[in-house]
């Protein structure tokens, strides 16, 4: 068993208190933070999702695994962010209405912050009106980031973009979208400015969007 296997195993078993020291140990051994994230933490979440699909794991197991994963990302956070990045712009992020999944959204926030953005996180279950109100109250927002993890909540991305349009704010902001079921085709269909598959790509795209 490698340390990466140990991290995955601890996340799968929902052992939050084991995950943080294991991640620290992996960092101390010189492992790449992105490899720890993808091969240790995210891969375990993928596995728990597959077990859920096969009826071999249930919501409580997903929940404790999610908490264990978050304990690991907290340790990784300073190592994933780029130290001393120049301020680039302002972003607001949220998981759309009806959707409680926040791990991917938190990673996207962390990586975008790492690129020097000031990011306001509206949390989960964010209604279109909440995004609109935030843009109305903060006229320096450059990018609106919407995350959705459920096929049933994906349409809320479209509803959010429509609400921004109806409020007359669409020209003021770029809209970035993502989340496991979200595709480039869906992003095009709802009129988003950008879709990216993962948090690293989202951060790079955010910089591209503000720098033009
Ligand atoms: Co849920 N869940 N869940 N769940 N859950 C999924 C998403 C599911 C695929 C599991 C499965 O069936 N295999 C399935 C959705 C099926 C579908 O819609 N087709 C599912 C279901 C069905 C449900 C419930 C309905 C279960 C129930 O109650 N019967 C329920 C819904 C609750 C709700 O939201 N209303 C539910 C609940 C939960 C928990 C609360 C228990 C927990 C979430 C805890 C939390 O987030 N704090 C949970 C979990 C943990 C999962 C899985 C196992 C893991 C999700 C995750 O964190 N992945 C998930 C299975 C899976 O994804 N394999 C599953 C790791 C994370 C790093 O990846 O979020 O994809 P991800 O983010 C990536 C990219 O997608 C991207 O970058 C991230 C990192 O690189 N990305 C963006 C994300 N947002 C982005 C935004 C961007 C750009 C990129 O730009 C703005």
What residue owns the CA closest to ligand 1's atom 81? 179
What residue owns the CA closest to ligand 1's atom 22? 150
Cα→Cα distances 75→16, 188, 201, Å:
12, 36, 21
Is the pLDDT reported for residue 83 higher than 70? no
Confidence of residue 84 (pLDDT cuts 50, 70, 90): low
Q: Across all residues in the chain, what is the average pLDDT?
A: 95
Is the pLDDT reported for residue 138 higher than 80? yes
Give residue 115's pLDDT: 87
Taken in order of first residue, the domains within the chain and their CATH numbers are: 3-82 (1.10.1240.10), 90-211 (3.40.50.280)
> Which ligand 1 atom sits nearest the alpha carbon of residue 93?
91
What residue owns the CA closest to ligand 1's atom 46? 101
Cα→Cα distances 2→37, 118, 119, 122, Å:
15, 37, 35, 37
Mean per-residue pLDDT, 187-202? 96
Contact 134, 126 (CB under 8 A): no
Confidence of residue 129 (pLDDT cuts 50, 70, 90): very high
In a mutational test of the pocket of ligand 1, which residue from 65, 149, 186, 200 has the highest number of ligand atoms less than 8 Å from its CB? 149
Contact 31, 4 (CB under 8 A): yes
pLDDT by residue (tens digit) across 88-121?
899 999 999 999 999 999 999 988 988 889 999 9
Cα→Cα distances 123→67, 81, 156, Å:
16, 20, 15
What residue owns the CA closest to ligand 1's atom 77? 198
Protein residues with CB under 6 Å of any ligand 1 atom: 42, 45-46, 48-49, 52-53, 59, 62-63, 66, 98-105, 107-108, 145-147, 149-152, 176-181, 196, 198-199, 202
């Amino acid at each position: 068993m490698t340390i990466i296997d140990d991290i995955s195993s601890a996340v799968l078993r929902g052992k939050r208190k084991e995950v943080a020291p294991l991640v620290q140990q992996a960092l101390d051994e010189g492992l790449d933070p992105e490899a720890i994230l993808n091969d240790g933490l995210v891969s375990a979440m993928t596995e728990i999702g597959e077990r859920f699909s096969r009826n071999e794991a249930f919501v409580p197991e997903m929940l404790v695994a999610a908490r264990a994963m978050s304990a690991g990302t907290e340790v990784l956070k300073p190592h994933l962010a780029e130290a001393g990045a120049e301020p680039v712009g302002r972003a607001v992020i949220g998981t759309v209405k009806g959707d409680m999944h926040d791990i991917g959204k938190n990673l996207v926030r962390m990586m975008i912050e790492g690129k020097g953005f000031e990011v306001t996180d509206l949390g989960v279950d964010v209604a279109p009106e909440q995004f609109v109100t935030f843009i109305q109250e903060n006229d320096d927002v450059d990018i609106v980031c919407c995350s959705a993890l459920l096929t049933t909540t994906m349409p809320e991305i479209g509803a959010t973009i429509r609400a921004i349009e109806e409020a007359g704010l669409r020209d003021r902001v770029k809209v970035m979208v993502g989340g496991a079921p979200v595709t480039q085709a869906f992003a095009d269909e709802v009129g988003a400015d950008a879709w990216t598959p993962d948090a690293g790509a989202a951060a790079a795209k955010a910089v591209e969007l503000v720098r033009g």
